[in-house]
Structure 1
């Protein structure tokens, strides 16, 4: 029932013993015979010794228990397992070691051909099934070589499956995290949208009751304008979320002065910084730094960073904006003395819906999309953005690096 003897060409194509493949000194393939019959041990030892070219060393486990423990210990490269082991069988041994989570290349040996035993052996996890009668060194060698190949392939497949399973587990964890952040986002959105509604409704009622008092009406109109502006900002954030997730952000790039872009961003964010009681300093090159950019969107990048600094910096803190040219790139840094960024949040600080501290400056609002938009816009300008912080209470620094097209002397 065994395979045909290998030809010389097939023999050369068969896998070499472990160790020879790795370029290390030749190490014989270690074989363990699990058989309670000393005569079978002698005969098998002769068969192994007659294999052309050698390359195999044979040890003997004379009992069911010794064979079971050896397989579970992984003591040998391959195992020759006799079907009959006293009152028990090799099939039982295979089933037991597999139940313990132990695996190895096992070839079942039997004294007579039985198709039922053949099927039982393969179902129990044997790599091959050989009859002792008519067994030759060539047949035994070929069976052992191919059992090693099968075992190696199975081990590689198991390793790949394990890697893939781990990757899928990481993806599932990431999806759960995204789902959690989206839930937080929806909760935040409801809170942020509800906040302006009460003042708007109250203001309208006051205006109705005080129709004959121009000063009261004017105050309420200003209050309504502020609340509507806040809601407009929220709607713009929602639209930006949609543009980010659908890949519909578009730029209109043209030669632009980086100096003017920073100046525009500073003017946009100045009221927010002043309201937060945060001192701002700006230090940019006197030279005109030119780059190919969407002026409005790039100003949005820096105003988002400044607004973020205002949100997470307590009154009396400081925010600085600096710019410098380094070769063919310009680096703009926004540094604050605020609450800092915990180390565990740094890798995800530019992800959608991430907020450092939802309890801080709650009145400033925000949906946690500003930094995600910053990253996307900077990448669309062929640049990079990074964040660093020494931890809570140590402030944070955001660095934007952009390619430039030229530097001109100051006018």
Structure 2
């Protein structure tokens, strides 16, 4: 036992029993215990409120009440100190009732010895401290589980979800009841990825060495990293800690787009310089050649010189367009509402929408969000995306959805279509100059759009699925 004094309250209507307990403890551990006596149930209840006792020795018979009533009162206390039940004779039913009510031990008065009493108190205190330690650990880890920003999911041996923390429920857009009906494999965007992850677990392979794609309850894609460990080998409880890196990946993509755009601009300027000089010389030479009398009378020669001139002019125009779409542009900035800008772009596309039988759905935030923009250029950028969406949809069946929201310090515009979608291997090239799937397109529309938005310190991101449609997400700084 430690040197710290142990305070004991004896709740017993027989004073002789109190003296007996006092003597027994004094004999075996003098000076270790401080005992007080409550001779009635009422005084015992009043003494509980002091909350100063380490152990309670409670007689089963307390007049009209019993020691079980005291146990129930102690269970309502925050600390719930240990209780040892005392009775005049051994009774299995009383023993069982006392233990079910929370007693730590049960002693028959006529059989109590100093060793037995001291051991019972010591074991009760050890058990109490052990329980408190477990409770503190549970509170600590439950707090981590509840407050963690990462998604935490528990699954059983069959990989069925048995619990999920608030961050997981919020991010995945499930209620507690809904997520408990799911299997871990249901969280993955593709069955192939789900099978890969579950096979790694079954073979004890690392699960955080590659990215996976989850789908939320509303079918949005999340990019995640998962670390899975077995918490309980016996019950096969699996702990999955999931890091949502969707936004991080998006930021990396946007940074790559910006770097790529800067490099493209440099290359465009070099090409313009290196190609325009020879083109000018070719055009001058052709012009001089055509002035010769022998050339001017030959139809074949005139045909070929015209071809040379026409194609040189075309090359020159393409270089000019490339420079315009990749260079820093002069902006005339003024405050405008994001809703106001998209409405103007929609007005310019009204004829195309009607001609193609496109259904327009608008979910515009209220009040409007003010952004600092060059109105003319941003409307052109929005219009380019709207036209791309219209051309991607089947006439008469297309649905164009325009959504504006505010996210922290950004005004967000989502332009969604239900068109043919874009293959994943083509997404990364959409903003490349001269890349197009259109028969008559130059491939500079989206390059120019990206240029306008980057000059406004904005971003543009594309999510697409073949056969289901595309979502362009534009973000501009809020004033």
**Higher RCO, Cα 8 Å, sep 6+:** 1
Report the TM-score when normalising by structure 2.
0.37
Report the TM-score when normalising by structure 1.
0.43
CA radius of gyration, larger in: 2
